[in-house]
Amino acid sequence: MNIYLDNSATSWPKPPNVIEAITSYMTDFGASPGRSGHHFSVKAAKEVFETRELLASLFNAPSSDRVIFTANATQAINTALFGLLKKGDHVIISHMEHNSVIRPLRHLEQNGIIELSIIDCDREGYINPETLKNSFKSNTKLVVTIHGSNVTGTIQPIKQIGEICKSKNILYMVDASQSAGILPIDLQNDNIDILAFTGHKELYGPTGIGGLCIKNDIQIESLLHGGTGSKSEIETHPLFYPDSLEAGTLNTAGIIGLKAGVQYILDQGMDNILKKQIQLTDYFLSKLKEIDNIILYGPDLGEVRIPIISLNIKNSMPSDVAFILDKEYGIMTRAGLHCSPLAHKTIGTFPHGAVRFSLSCFTTEEEINYTIDKIKKIR
């Protein structure tokens, strides 16, 4: 028996059309997009362009040339932070952030480039917008927050945070690694200046693809300089999006797979996917609450969360619980700190962490019932 409840690490299985699209690219027209003028290259470029259009429409970005492809969310976040921040800037993040936000900022702080403030969250992982307001300084350039927590499933009030940042003329970047594809995200109405996403989780694409969506007037300097297939007569790197942030050959197979992932979501209806996953997560949570000696973290039953539940069994190490779940019963979860040490400090599970169960649109009630039964046995 294989029960995959580690979709927050990467979603599996992938929808059949994702596999078909990648196979078709590799088999039928696997050329480099935007480089050569032949018809395979033109077809690959058309696929890349259509993926940008699809993502721009999904996130209500001002235009598709503001959709930048990177290898993953980590590269997207690093690109934005290193390309935007200058000496003397102050940055605010929350305790619920992932190491892909914390570590580049700690690096910039330790090198004397920026000042960093990390604001507290409550025990369920929510940011209090009032705490944020009290942390602004005259040199605050950027606020970065997670959207859906990879530890607790908590959904941050991004629209409210975006409004506060806009009123203070401060840039707002959202890490949508866990929410893109399942929660509605509207760059323009939510006042998000920069959105970082990854393609291989709730967007159902393959690993190795992610990106940024950037508001019109924000200039991010490129970390990389090189070939773009455009302006080849010039010896310096182009300054226009998306080329300026996409040096080198793109992950075309990944982009085409991501396009199919987004198409799958749109065909199923994002609302339907969300509704089904909320119901199943609530069902899981309600069953877990009936079991003695289970400690649950994050929002309570009835509060909307992304489909992630972290728990501990009293007097057990999370790594032992995850090991037994996998070894004895074929249930795949993730134990530990989930690259988010500060989030675990917030919910009181540092240093050993918790066992995380993360669902996808392919998770069934039977799988949840089986999992509940085995958690009872281990307990």
Ligand X SMILES: Cc1ncc(COP(=O)(O)O)c(C=O)c1O
Binding positions for ligand X, rule: CB under 6 A:
72-74, 98, 100, 146, 150, 175, 177-178, 198, 210
For residue 150, the minimal CB distance to ligand X (Å) is 3
> Can you tell me which residue has the tokens 């010039």?
234
Of the pair 152, 177, the CB lying nearest ligand X is at 177
Q: Which is nearer to ligand X, 48 or 73 (CB)?
A: 73
**Residue 183 forms beta bridges with which residues?**
180
Closer residue to ligand X, CB minimum distance, 47 or 175:
175
User: Residue 125 or residue 238: which is nearer to ligand X going by CB?
Assistant: 125
> How many whole angstroms separate alpha carbon 7 and alpha carbon 130?
33
Q: Least distance in Å: CB of 201 to ligand X?
A: 7
Residue 184 or 269: the one with the smaller Cβ distance to ligand X is 184
d(CA 140, CA 88): 9
Q: What share of the chain is helix, strand, coil (3-state, %, to 5)?
A: 40, 15, 45
Residue 48 phi, psi dihedral angles, 5° rounding: -65, -45
**238 vs 318 by CB, closer to ligand X:** 318
Minimum separation from the CB atom of position 292 to ligand X (A): 31
Please tell me the distance from the alpha carbon of residue 13 to that of residue 10, in angstroms, as a whole number: 9
Report the C-alpha gap between 329 and 240 in whole angstroms.
Answer: 52
Tokens read off for 363: 């998770």
Angle, helices 252-268/16-28, rounded to nearest 10 degrees: 150
Query: Taking the alpha carbons of 229, 234, 239, 240 in that order, is the dihedral positive or negative?
Result: negative
Considering beta carbons, is residue 34 or 162 the nearer one to ligand X?
162
Helix (H) or strand (E) holding 342: helix 341-347
| Least CB distance to ligand X at residue 334 (A) | 9
DSSP character at residue 180 = B
Determine the residue type at 154. Answer: T
| Shortest spacing between CB 92 and ligand X, in angstroms | 17
Please give the helix or strand (H or E) that residue 75 lies within, else none: helix 73-84
Least distance (Å) from ligand X to the CB of residue 194?
14
Separation between Cα atoms, residue 178 and residue 307, nearest integer Å: 10
CB closer to ligand X out of 178 and 244 = 178
CB of residue 50 to ligand X, shortest distance in Å: 22
Bridge-partner residues for 311, per DSSP?
296, 355
Give the nearest distance from C-beta 198 to ligand X in angstroms: 3
